[in-house]
């Protein structure tokens, strides 16, 4: 950038409808702020794109001028790949429009749309897209990595509900990718991340959900964690697809239904979700109560949109975050013991270990149906290191890494790509397993010079 003439940059800026921000410009620092405060990079320019034409112009400018190129959707990625140092960031945040056709049960979402944007438009129609669990997450990054959440057991992953997508590839061309149009590209973006281009528009299938669902928390003391987790492990084996229960081990946040003297104490929280009415969920809820001594409970009818935002306060931007993750096909007693040992030694009150239950419809496809291959996984376990003070960096990162190593012998040997941090490039093959070779070949076809490399990178096969 330092060698680029001002008139060249000015000419590029004139082609976009939104400002191109550079260091020192008003709004630059806000635009480069992302969810994980550990990531602090200063791009040479941030191209805020209002539409696909802006994305095309930005891709062409970066390629023709040899600029490092990153793509920012929601900016929620743990690895911080939405930013690059001294290069260009294509910022899709102005592209948050969502359109819903309730008759065909299809939704179109821009590349910068957040989960909250999609829920806001689909829920008045009593419809939803199977996405994640945090409303501030960008739909693009979540979907391109696979995408699982409360609806996955009933309706599959986000990639299983992607019907089509507009993709701008490294040569600046626009493509419509679907099962009928450019099926190889469509296969690759369903789990292959941002390796193949900039997705400017997603077309999703919709399902009847809400506006009210049954959801909430049942909280147990950490002193009973072993019996609770073993009951939980056996319980979910027979769980119908219409219900999902996740386990979270952490210090109790100030939940209003917990006594004040329990706030900050170690707990096991089981998070329940079902699109069914409370009466249909009641028998399973009664079983869960029998896992141990219930410290507090808040389960009942709730708007789906509200449940999607329930965990937002625990995942607000501005904190420092470091994750380590394993997939499990089943939780052995030994795996549970490791989880409990490290959950009892969290280094800050914000840290947690959660086990996201998958299975159900998400596991009915073969591993090669999409680029996301993990169709035998029952739990995606995330060690969520989270803290505020940079002085705590070493102790939190060490805790997460030590737990990861201790749990590895009991895990499946695979990992969800969206949970990988920036220092885990050696695990990319684990994330794609038998699909890695095909992904390399498609990468060679659509991005042979690896322009889109600020991600969990799949290198061209050449």
Instruction: Dump pLDDT digits (tens) for 381-410.
Output: 999 999 999 999 999 999 999 999 999 999
* Digit-coded pLDDT (tens) for 348-367: 999 999 999 999 999 999 99
**pLDDT confidence of residue 233:** 96
Q: Is residue 1 part of a domain?
A: no
Greatest Cα pair distance, the chain, in angstroms, is 71
Query: What pLDDT shows up at residue 1?
Result: 55
Question: Rounded to 10 degrees, what is the CA torsion of 183, 184, 188, 194?
Answer: -90
pLDDT of residue 102: 97
- Domain boundary, last residue among 194, 209, 224: 209
Closest by CA to 54, choosing from 16, 92, 13, 111, is 16
pLDDT, residue 111, reads: 97
Q: Find the CATH number of the domain harbouring 50.
A: 3.30.43.10
Give the residue carrying structure tokens 């964690």. 225
CB 275 within 8 A of CB 204: no
d(CA 432, CA 457): 11
pLDDT-above-90 percentage for the chain: 95
Question: What are the tokens at 60?
Answer: 């062409």
| 228 shares its domain with 168 | no
CATH code assigned at 266: 3.40.462.20
Both 279 and 391 in a single domain? yes
Distance CA 225, CA 58 (A): 52
Query: Residue 4 pLDDT > 90, yes or no?
Result: no
- 51 and 108 housed in the same domain: no
Q: Indicate whether 244 and 261 sit together in one domain.
A: yes
Q: Is residue 448 part of a domain?
A: no
Whether 422 contacts 81, CB under 8 Å: yes
Query: Mean pLDDT over residues 13-42, rounded?
Result: 95
Give mean pLDDT, residues 119-140.
Answer: 96
Same domain (yes/no): 379, 346: yes
Residue 7 has a pLDDT of 82
Backbone angles phi and psi of 393, in degrees to 5: -50, -55
What contacts 415, CB < 8 A, 6 or more positions away? 325, 326, 327, 427, 430, 431
Burial status of residue 80 (CB atoms within 10 A of its CB: 0-12, 13-18, 19 or more):
buried
Same domain, yes or no, for 292 and 391?
yes
44/67 same-domain check: yes
Count each helix (H run) and each strand (E run) in the chain, helices first.
14, 18
Q: Which of 209, 225, 260 is the last residue of a domain?
A: 209
* Nearest partner of 293 among 368, 222, 351, judged by Cα: 222
CA–CA–CA angle 406, 407, 408 (5° rounding): 95
Residues 291 and 347 in one domain: yes
- The reply to whether 81 and 221 lie within a common domain is no
Euclidean distance between CA atoms 143 and 285, whole angstroms: 31
Whole-angstrom distance, CA of residue 376 vs CA of residue 183? 24
Residue 437 lies in a domain: no
pTM of the full structure: 0.94
Range in 5-9, 150-154, 200-204, 331-335 the model is least confident about = 5-9
Helix pair angle (333-343, 225-237), 10° resolution: 140
**φ/ψ (deg, to 5) at 86:** 55, 35
| 456 located within any domain | no
Question: The domain containing residue 103 runs over which residues?
Answer: 98-209
Q: Is the pLDDT of residue 2 over 90?
A: no
């Amino acid at each position: 950038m330092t060698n680029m003439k001002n008139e060249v940059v000015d000419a590029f800026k004139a082609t976009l409808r939104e400002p191109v921000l550079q260091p020192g410009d008003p709004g630059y620092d806000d635009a480069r702020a992302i969810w994980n405060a550990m990531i602090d990079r200063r791009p040479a320019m941030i191209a805020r794109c209002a539409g696909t034409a802006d994305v095309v112009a930005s891709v062409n400018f970066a390629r023709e001028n040899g600029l490092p190129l990153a793509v920012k959707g929601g900016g929620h990625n743990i690895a911080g790949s939405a930013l690059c140092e001294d290069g260009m960031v294509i910022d899709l945040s102005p592209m948050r429009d969502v359109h819903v056709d309730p008759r065909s049960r299809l939704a179109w979402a821009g590349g910068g749309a957040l989960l909250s944007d999609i829920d806001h438009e689909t829920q008045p129609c009593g419809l939803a897209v199977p996405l994640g669990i945090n409303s501030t997450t960008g739909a693009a990054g979540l979907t391109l990595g696979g995408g699982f959440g409360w609806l996955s057991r009933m309706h599959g992953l986000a990639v299983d509900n992607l019907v089509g997508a507009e993709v701008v590839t490294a040569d600046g061309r626009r493509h419509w990718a679907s099962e009928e149009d450019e099926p190889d590209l469509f296969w690759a973006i369903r789990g292959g991340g941002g390796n193949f281009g900039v997705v400017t528009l997603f077309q999703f299938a919709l399902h009847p959900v809400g506006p009210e669902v049954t959801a909430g928390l049942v909280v147990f003391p950490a002193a009973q964690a072993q019996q609770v987790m073993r009951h939980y492990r056996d319980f979910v084996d027979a769980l119908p697809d219409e219900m999902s229960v996740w386990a979270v081990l952490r210090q109790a946040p100030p939940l209003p239904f917990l006594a004040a003297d329990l706030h900050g104490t170690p707990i096991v929280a089981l998070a329940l979700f079902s699109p069914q009415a409370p009466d249909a969920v009641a028998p399973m809820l009664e079983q869960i109560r029998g896992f141990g001594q219930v410290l507090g409970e808040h389960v009942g009818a709730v708007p789906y949109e509200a449940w999607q935002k329930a965990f937002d306060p625990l995942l607000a931007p501005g904190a420092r975050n470091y994750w380590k993750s394993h997939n499990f096909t089943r939780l052995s007693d030994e795996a549970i013991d490791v989880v409990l040992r490290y959950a009892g030694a969290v280094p800050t009150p914000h840290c947690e270990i959660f086990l996201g239950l998958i299975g159900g419809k998400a596991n009915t496809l073969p591993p090669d149906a999409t680029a996301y291959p993990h169709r035998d996984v029952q739990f995606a376990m995330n060690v969520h290191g989270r803290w505020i003070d940079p002085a705590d960096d070493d102790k939190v990162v060490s805790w997460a890494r030590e737990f990861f190593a201790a749990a590895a012998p009991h895990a499946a040997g695979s990992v969800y790509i969206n949970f990988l941090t920036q220092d885990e490039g050696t695990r990319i093959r684990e994330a794609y397993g038998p699909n890695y070779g095909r992904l390399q070949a498609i990468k060679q076809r659509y991005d042979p010079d690896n322009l889109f490399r600020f991600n969990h990178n799949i290198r061209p096969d050449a």
